[in-house]
């Protein structure tokens, strides 16, 4: 983990825990001598942590190009977001339940008034509404009903803004975390940037951060895999090899996926006058893009990601690509200068020869770039990728920087094999696009 990423994670962790740290002197720790006091203390603690986790998770959901680099790329930033969001959901679920349990040991009337308050107690109802909205948009994220539809999941996530508003409407009138007016000041200090982050992401960014491109070529690499070439009349997007974009097609003839954004890694080299993305048929939206109309418009947002080093320096590297996971390596290989010398070994893992997308181009690059080697691994012949295969084809792989991109099973397998061979985790870099 780089020092920048460590600093970013430390800042997020500190922001999550600061409200509780400030509230500790006022939580009546001595009350834990009784079961009622302990339960009440746990309920209040869960409420403080749950709300701070939720607000910080909302703050870091900005998705401003470049912001994610501090966390090691957008995939890692979203993992932090998901962990905080999931934790906040369970903590906020526990908050009223623990308070009701504590109240029930004193008076059932008080417990019932928390569960079913009078209509005049609108601030308590705001808390229940916030929790109900969270249940709606968090259920797909937690996969409580199986793997959800990607676009439906994104649409439901827009409800997080309502949960935020209801949550603050519940907390501000009732806040006893700190003496007045400091409790309200603290939650306003957290709630305001969280609300602004949501407004930016939901309403401002879709209108200001996307750039229009036209589809000028659709190249079929093989059935179910195409590479789109995109042009713009504005300034071309600046990016590094290995970064990705969100692409929103606007072709009115698309049977599916129109106006839906999805992440795709750029396959072009940064010096090219166009953008290129490789798209594999993996669902309704990607299937439709296989036959997108020439000259139709798409919207591009990005770039995101931090797969390869930002220094641009070439190190001794091993690349492990699986299927469509070849894309970031293709971009990097295409960016090699004519006379550049590298020490890079690519292991390209596919099922069989029929799926060797862009192999001839990679071999041509290898023929003119000293030190760039391309090796094939066929699952139907050689089975799962193993450390013994890596050792026989790249004997010094344990001393190299290693980059892995492909299906989750390949990433998991490669990481396990590499760690068993003693490769430090800090030298294993991988990209995982789940829930982007």
Q: 250 and 391, same structural domain?
A: no
Q: What is the DSSP string of 177-188?
A: SSSTTHHHHHHH
**Same domain (yes/no): 276, 189:** no
* Per-residue confidence in pLDDT tens, the chain, 436 aa: 566 778 888 999 999 999 999 988 887 665 666 788 888 889 999 999 999 999 999 999 888 888 888 888 888 888 899 999 999 999 999 999 998 888 887 777 777 777 777 777 888 889 999 999 999 888 777 776 666 677 777 778 888 999 999 999 999 988 777 787 888 999 999 999 999 999 998 889 888 899 999 999 999 988 899 999 999 989 999 999 999 999 999 999 999 989 999 999 999 999 999 999 999 998 889 999 999 999 999 999 999 998 987 765 667 999 999 999 999 999 999 999 766 789 999 999 999 998 889 999 999 999 999 999 999 999 999 999 999 999 999 999 999 999 999 998 999 999 999 999 999 988 999 887 665 5
Same domain for 265 and 323: no
Same domain? For 333 and 389 the reply is yes
- The range of the structural domain enclosing residue 254 comes to 211-304
Asked whether residue 201 is domain-assigned, the answer is: yes
Pair 427, 327 in one domain: yes
- In this structure, is residue 310 part of a structural domain? no
Among candidate residues 112, 99, 86, 3, the one with its CA nearest the CA of residue 47? 99
Last residue of a domain, one of 186, 208, 230: 208
Residue 51 CA to chain centroid, in angstroms? 21
Could you give the CA distance from residue 339 to residue 133 in angstroms, rounded to a whole number?
58
Nearest CA to 167 among 61, 56, 274, 83? Answer: 56
What pLDDT was estimated at residue 433?
Answer: 65
Domain membership flag for residue 309: no
The answer to whether 329 and 281 have CB atoms below 8 angstroms apart is no
d(CA 423, CA 419): 5
Beta strands 225-231 and 211-222: pairing type? antiparallel
Provide the CB-side half-sphere exposure for 104 (13 A, CA): 9
Q: What is the tally of helices (H) and strands (E) in the chain?
A: 15, 11
CA distance 34 to 168: 30
Q: How far apart are CA 349 and CA 319, in angstroms?
A: 10
Distance CA 20, CA 347 (A): 49
Shared-domain flag, residues 332 and 217:
no
Residue 417's CATH number: 3.40.50.80
Upper half-sphere CA count for residue 143 (Cβ side, 13 Å): 6
Query: Could you give the number of structural domains in the chain?
Result: 3
Residues 289 and 341 in one domain: no
d(C-alpha 433, C-alpha 185), whole Å:
38
Q: For residue 199, is it within any domain? A: yes
Give the burial class of 378: count Cβ atoms within 10 A of its Cβ; 0-12 exposed, 13-18 middle, 19 or more buried.
middle
Rg of the chain over all Cα atoms, to the nearest angstrom = 25
Question: What are the distances in angstroms from CA 234 to CA 66, 213, 228, 273?
Answer: 20, 9, 18, 11
Is 251 inside any structural domain? yes
168 and 274 co-located in one domain? no
DSSP 327-379: HHHHHHHHT--TT---EEEEEEEESSGGG-TTHHHHHHHHHHSTTEEEEEEEH
Residue in the structure block whose two tokens are 């649409």: 155
Do 373 and 228 sit in the same domain of this protein? no
436 domain residue, yes or no: no
Q: Could you tell me if residue 55 is inside a domain?
A: yes
pLDDT computed for residue 70 by the predictor: 83
**End position of a domain, from candidates 208, 233, 248:** 208
Distances (CA, A) of 381 to 15, 353, 377: 51, 11, 8
The 10 Å CB-count burial string (b at 16+, else e) for 172-203 is eeebebbeeeebbebbeebbeebbebbebbee
Give the CATH number for residue 274: 2.40.30.10
Look up the pTM and report it.
0.87
In terms of domains, do 173 and 221 share one?
no
**Residue 436 in 3-state DSSP?**
coil
The pLDDT of residue 226 is: 95
For 244, counting Cβ atoms within 10 Å of its Cβ (0-12 exposed, 13-18 middle, 19+ buried), the class is: buried
Burial of 309 (0-12, 13-18, 19+ CB in 10 A): middle
> 165 and 40 share a domain?
yes
**What does the pLDDT read at residue 264?**
95
Residue 311 pLDDT = 65
Query: Which is it for the CA torsion 207, 210, 216, 219, positive or negative?
Result: negative
| CATH number assigned to the domain comprising residue 140 | 1.20.120
């Amino acid at each position: 983990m780089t020092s920048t990423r460590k600093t970013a994670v430390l800042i997020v962790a500190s922001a999550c825990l600061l409200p509780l740290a400030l509230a500790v002197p006022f939580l009546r720790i001595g009350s834990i001598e009784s079961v009622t006091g302990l339960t009440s203390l746990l309920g209040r603690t869960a409420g403080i942590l749950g709300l701070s986790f939720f607000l910080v998770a909302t703050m870091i959901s900005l998705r401003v190009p470049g912001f994610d680099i501090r966390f090691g790329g957008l995939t890692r930033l979203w993992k932090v977001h998901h962990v905080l969001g999931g934790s906040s959901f369970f903590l906020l679920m526990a908050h009223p339940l623990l308070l009701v349990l504590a109240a029930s040991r004193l008076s059932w009337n008080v417990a019932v008034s928390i569960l079913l308050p009078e209509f005049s107690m609108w601030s308590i109802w705001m808390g229940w509404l916030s929790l109900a909205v969270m249940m709606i948009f968090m259920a797909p994220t937690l996969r409580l009903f199986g793997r959800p539809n990607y676009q439906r999941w994104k649409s439901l996530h827009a409800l997080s803004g309502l949960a935020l508003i209801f949550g603050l409407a519940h907390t501000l009138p009732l806040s006893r975390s700190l003496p007045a007016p400091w409790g309200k000041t603290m939650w306003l200090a957290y709630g305001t940037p969280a609300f602004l982050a949501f407004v930016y992401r939901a309403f401002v960014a879709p209108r200001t951060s996307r750039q229009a491109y036209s589809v000028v070529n659709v190249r079929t690499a093989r059935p179910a895999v195409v590479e789109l070439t995109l042009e713009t009349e504005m300034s071309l997007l600046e990016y590094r090899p290995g970064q990705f974009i969100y692409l929103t097609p606007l072709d009115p003839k698309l049977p599916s996926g129109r106006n839906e954004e999805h992440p795709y890694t750029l396959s072009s080299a940064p010096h090219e006058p166009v953008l290129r993305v490789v798209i594999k048929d993996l669902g309704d939206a990607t299937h439709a893009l296989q036959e997108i109309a020439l000259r139709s418009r798409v919207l591009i947002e990005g770039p995101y990601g931090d797969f390869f080093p930002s220094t641009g320096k070439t190190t001794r590297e091993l690349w492990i690509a699986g299927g469509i996971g070849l894309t970031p390596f293709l971009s990097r290989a295409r960016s090699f200068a004519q006379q550049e010398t590298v020490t890079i070994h690519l292991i390209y893992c596919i099922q069989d020869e029929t799926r060797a997308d862009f192999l001839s181009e990679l071999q041509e690059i290898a023929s003119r770039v000293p030190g760039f080697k391309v090796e094939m691994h066929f699952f139907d012949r050689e089975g799962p990728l193993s450390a013994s295969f890596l050792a026989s084809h790249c004997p010094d792989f344990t001393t190299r920087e290693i980059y892995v991109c492909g299906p989750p099973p390949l990433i998991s397998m490669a990481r396990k094999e590499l760690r068993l061979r003693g490769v430090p985790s800090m030298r294993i870099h991988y990209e995982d696009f789940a829930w982007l």
